[in-house]
């Protein structure tokens, strides 16, 4: 690691390694957008993952991508990704002279980072590690006894830990033997990309008779309760003309298609699958639904708000920290289909809709990347400084 003079940290451009899942999932999106944002303001960013991240879609002289090479062997039923990742971290930190490793999603990234840190320490190289907790790494998977001891250990041994909501921070303290400080840095949005676009021809094609357009985007896992989306829509559709777009794909999709057929709603619901330009669909939508069982922040809802779409959500996890009940939409109890239907009617009422849309956009602006990115930079600087002092 380069020797960083504390006084010069603010003006110093850092070399940061970012480890994440390269998929459409929220943690990978946040990690990639953060890396892109850091590169734009002059930091050098090295992504380390097993595939090119989905959102790593532009060229910058400050952005680098290092693919983890996972070697298989007939003896392995499961290739040891954690080891290949740790080895790759060692070589990138060493040869690219990194100042900090930032790992997104605790499992297995935080424990691989710990191993890399120990290997590098033996070679006289000190590398501070920041772990960002995203949600299911704590609330669902991490809690499981098969992972809990390793998750607790690697959180306690990171040099810095952030969580994407206050609720996630509290869950971490409640379920893990974690005593250290956790900094809350919420998810963010790039308002230059996520903004309402003129796509009225698209709206007309889907809603030819002026129907209201509802939208849901997710990875179609059970925790997202896509069934509730369809049931709320089914009830609402009995009272007002409406259409529903379902964006994304995942394990629940087939079941959801069957449910639509059983309810006879196929003509009013379209499954669009995975989309890169989700902002185009959001631009013509009147209401976004997120009825999740668990949700540490709800990045997909923030993307909708940035496109001026009010949100109807459950009260799970950190969602109420984003959705201001009665202003940017409504917050309902998980699974309360009737209440969600009633609240959808209030939002979609022509007398209210524009106010909800304006409020949603105003709230989204608070989470603009220009407000949140400096918080990460400051946290990196503080973490580097503290861990350097400790290592001397
Ligand atoms: O929602 C998912 O299943 C994906 C998951 C992930 O880690 O990729 O998303 C989590 O991280 C996002 C970014 O921080 C948050 O906005 C989501 O709320 C969170 N999902 C859950 O907690 C279920």
Residue-wise pLDDT for 157-195, tens only, equals 999 999 999 999 999 999 988 989 999 999 999 999 999
Q: What is the pLDDT of residue 5?
A: 46
pLDDT reported for residue 9: 47
Rounded mean pLDDT of the chain?
93
Q: How much distance in Å is there from the Cα of 274 to the middle of ligand 1?
A: 16
Radius of gyration for the alpha carbons in the chain, expressed in angstroms and rounded:
22
Q: Strand (E) positions, 194-310?
A: 212-217, 242-247, 269-273, 287-290
Residue 348 has pLDDT above 50, yes or no: yes
Task: Indicate whether residue 223 lines ligand 1 (CB < 6 A).
Answer: yes
Does residue 304 have a pLDDT over 70? yes
Cα 35 from Cα 371, distance rounded (Å) = 15
Atom of ligand 1 nearest to the CA of 318: 18
Question: What is the best residue among 18, 55, 135 to mutate for testing ligand 1's pocket, by most ligand atoms within 8 Å of CB?
Answer: 135
Nearest atom in ligand 1 to the alpha carbon of residue 319 is 18
For the residues 206-213, what does the mean pLDDT come to? Answer: 96
The pLDDT of residue 137 is above 90: no
Ordered DSSP codes for 95-135: HHT-SEEEEESHHHHHHHHHHHHHHHHHTT----EEEEE-S
Pairwise CA distance, residues 346 & 107, whole Å: 41
Question: Residue 2 C-alpha to ligand 1 middle, in angstroms?
Answer: 34
User: Counting Cβ atoms within 10 Å, is residue 202 exposed (0-12), middle (13-18) or buried (19+)?
Assistant: middle
pTM, two decimals, is: 0.93
Determine the average pLDDT of the residues in 108-134.
Answer: 96
Question: Where residue 221 falls among pLDDT bands split at 50, 70, 90?
Answer: very high
Q: Are 188 and 371 in contact (CB under 8 A)?
A: yes
Residue 357 in contact with ligand 1 by CB distance below 6 A: no
Do you find a cis peptide bond into 108, omega within 30 degrees of 0? yes
Q: What percent of the chain has pLDDT over 90?
A: 81
* CB 26 near ligand 1, within 6 Å: yes
Query: Could you tell me if the CB of 298 is within 6 A of ligand 1?
Result: yes
Which of ligand 1's atoms lies nearest the C-alpha of 165?
Answer: 14
Task: Say how many Å lie between the CA of residue 248 and the centre of ligand 1.
Answer: 14
Cβ atoms 318, 298 nearer than 8 A: yes
Determine the average pLDDT of the residues in 216-235. 97
Does residue 217 have its Cβ closer than 6 Å to ligand 1? no
Ligand 1 center–CA 203 separation, angstroms: 29
The arithmetic mean of pLDDT across residues 336-363, rounded, is 98
pLDDT at residue 24 in the model: 67
Does residue 18 register a pLDDT over 60? yes
* Residue pointed to by tokens 């400051």: 378
294 close to ligand 1 (CB < 6 Angstrom): yes
Split at pLDDT 50, 70, 90, the class of 91 is very high
pLDDT(139) > 80: no
pLDDT over 80 at 355, yes or no: yes
| List of residues 6+ apart from 87 with CB closer than 8 A | 116
pLDDT of residue 177: 87
Q: Ligand 1 atom closest to Cα of 135?
A: 22
Query: What confidence category does residue 145 fall into, taking pLDDT thresholds of 50, 70 and 90?
Result: confident
Lowest mean pLDDT among 33-47, 74-88, 233-247, 250-264: 74-88
Q: Is the CB of 30 under 6 A from ligand 1?
A: yes
25 lines ligand 1 (CB under 6 A): yes
Under 8 Å between Cβ of 237 and 267: no
What CA–CA distance (Å, rounded) separates 370 from 374? Answer: 7
Q: What DSSP string describes 177-199?
A: ---S--EE----B-TTTSS----
Query: From the alpha carbon of 139, which atom of ligand 1 is closest?
Result: 22
Residue 337: pLDDT band with limits 50, 70, 90 = very high
Q: Rounded CA gap, 253 and 221, in Å?
A: 9
CA nearest ligand 1 atom 9, residue: 26
- Sign of the Cα pseudo-torsion (169, 173, 175, 179, in order): positive
């Amino acid at each position: 690691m380069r020797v960083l003079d504390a006084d010069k940290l603010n003006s110093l451009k850092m070399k940061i390694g970012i480890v994440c899942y390269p998929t459409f999932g929220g943690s990978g999106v946040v990690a990639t957008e953060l890396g892109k944002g850091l590169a734009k303001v002059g930091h050098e960013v090295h992504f380390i993952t097993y595939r090119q991240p989905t959102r790593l879609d532009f060229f910058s002289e400050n952005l680098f991508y290092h693919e983890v090479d996972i070697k298989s062997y007939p003896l392995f039923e499961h290739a040891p990704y954690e080891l290949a990742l740790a080895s790759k971290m060692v070589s990138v930190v060493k040869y690219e002279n990194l100042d900090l490793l930032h790992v997104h999603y605790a499992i297995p990234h935080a424990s691989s980072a710990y191993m890399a840190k120990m290997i590098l320490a033996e070679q006289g190289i000190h590398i501070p590690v920041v772990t960002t907790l995203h949600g299911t790494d704590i609330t669902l998977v991490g809690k499981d006894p098969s992972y809990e001891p390793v998750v607790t250990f690697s959180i306690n041994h990171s040099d810095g830990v952030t969580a994407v909501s206050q609720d996630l921070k509290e869950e971490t303290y409640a379920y893990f033997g974690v005593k250290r400080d956790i900094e809350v840095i919420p998810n963010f949005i790039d308002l230059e990309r996520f903004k309402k676009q003129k796509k009225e021809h698209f709206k007309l094609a889907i809603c030819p008779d002026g129907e209201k357009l509802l939208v849901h985007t997710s990875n179609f896992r059970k925790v997202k309760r896509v069934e509730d989306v369809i049931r709320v829509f089914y009830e609402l559709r009995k009272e007002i003309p409406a259409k529903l777009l379902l964006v994304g794909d995942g394990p629940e999709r087939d079941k959801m298609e069957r449910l639509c057929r059983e309810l006879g709603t196929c003509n009013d619901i379209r499954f669009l699958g995975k989309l890169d330009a989700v902002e185009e669909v959001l631009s013509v939508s009147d209401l976004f639904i997120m009825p999740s069982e668990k949700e540490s922040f709800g990045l997909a809802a923030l993307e909708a708000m940035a496109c001026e779409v009010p949100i109807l959500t459950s009260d799970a996890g950190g969602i109420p920290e984003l959705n201001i009940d009665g202003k940017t939409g409504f917050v309902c109890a998980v699974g309360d289909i009737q209440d969600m239907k009633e609240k959808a009617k209030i939002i979609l009422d022509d007398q209210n809709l524009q106010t909800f849309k304006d409020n949603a956009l105003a709230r989204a602006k608070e989470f603009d990347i220009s407000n949140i990115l400096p918080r990460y930079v400051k946290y990196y600087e503080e973490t580097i400084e503290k861990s350097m002092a400790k290592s001397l």
